[in-house]
Structure 1
Amino acid sequence: MQLETFNQLDSGEAQRVLQSCAHIPTWISELLQQRPYSSKEQLYQTALAQAQTWQWPEISAALEQHPRIGEKKAAAVLSEKEQQFSQQEQGQIQTDAVLQLALYQGNLDYEHKFGYIYLIRAAGRSGQQILSELQRRLKNTAEQEQAEVKQQLGEIALLRLNQEIQ
């Protein structure tokens, strides 16, 4: 949609647009309050700055809305737009049976260690790159991993926002 259209949406509709990018209520609220935006760059920079303020409890809650990496079908609880984003982002990942099994096992190991799903910006990455990152991140401390998850969730949100608002 065009920026002008986004600026003119009622708050409920605009909230749904932003929620499809990231399930972070404070981020959504702040971006809504800043409307109207004079340019897409202003919206993007505001979204980026707000993403830097995210705290772990809200990030953790947002993770519950993301499908596991390697799951080709997004969870039914996601909005249609979120399902489209997820399918588009993960749909480019080519995996053979061995890689699929390694991702599945890595996801289990990751969830066992950290207590939440492995989140990575899948767009632009191969299945092997995603697996390599998963294996590297399994060596992180809890604090290091929370910082990486925040970074990845921010990248996903901004990528989606960029795709959603022209």
Structure 2
Amino acid sequence: MTNHPHALEALTAADAAELREILLDVCSSPGWADAVVAARPWTDRRALLDANAEAMAGLSAADLHDAMAGHARIGTPRPGDAASEREQAGVLGAEDALLDELRRANAAYEAKFGHVFLICATGRTAATMLAALRERHPNDPATEAGIVREELRKINDIRINHLLDDN
């Protein structure tokens, strides 16, 4: 993993309000963003990723809801949202029948859990996401909340790495 010290230095030195706005593009939970800002200074990339993990572990149920609200439904990336489109590239070109199944499974999941199905979609195909959705649907809410928290951490790690690598 390449370390871009200038990007990390710029983030570390940023004004807290500016940094919070940047981090809200990574994860839409204000509680998460505030926790990561408070973890400064980060000595290296690993320290920033560790701050993500610690912040994610400490999120309340409301904070977790805020974090999930920033994610598009699996199978329907948000047009114009580069992160959503990049992360859900695996649904591009999927057959209509598979996308219909994914929509139905999403609806059943959302009816049961009250939020979108969240999975780190990077590198996954529509078929593998559908299989994961079906595998997780029988979970109880507490088990699923733990899985969602870990999937969000993975997504945030990818987005943080992208942020560091693009600057």
Fold-level similarity (TM above 0.5): yes
Q: Paired residue for 1:161?
A: 160
Q: Paired residue for 1:53?
A: 58
| Partner residue of 1:2 out of 3, 7, 11 | 7
Q: Paired residue for 2:23?
A: 18
Matched to 1:133, the amino acid is A
After superposition, give the CA deviation of every residue in 1:21-78 in whole Å (9 maximum; x if it has no partner).
112222211221232322111111122122122222211122222211111325xxxx
Q: Paired residue for 2:33?
A: 28
Using the size of structure 1 for normalisation, the TM-score is: 0.87
Matched to 1:114, the amino acid is F
Q: Paired residue for 2:3?
A: none
Q: Structure 1, unaligned stretches of length 5 or more?
A: 75-79
After superposition, give the CA deviation of every residue in 1:81-112 in whole Å (9 maximum; x if it has no partner).
xx211111012334111110010000111111
Distance 2:8 2:18 in 1: 14
Q: Paired residue for 1:84?
A: 82
Using the size of structure 2 for normalisation, the TM-score is: 0.87
Equivalent positions of 1:77-156 (< 5 A) are 83-94=81-92, 95-156=94-155
What secondary structure sits across from 2:26 in the alignment? Answer: coil
**Residues 77 and 85 in structure 2, CA contact (< 8 A), matched pair in contact too:** yes
Matched to 1:5, the amino acid is A
Q: Paired residue for 2:75?
A: 70
CA RMSD in angstroms comes to 1.7
Distance 1:69 1:36 in 2: 34
Distance 1:157 1:92 in 2: 18
Distance 1:113 1:34 in 2: 35
Distance 2:47 2:110 in 1: 37
**Residues 29 and 64 in structure 2, CA contact (< 8 A), matched pair in contact too:** yes
Give the percent of matched residue pairs that are identical in Structure 1 and Structure 2. Answer: 26
What secondary structure sits across from 1:2 in the alignment? Answer: helix
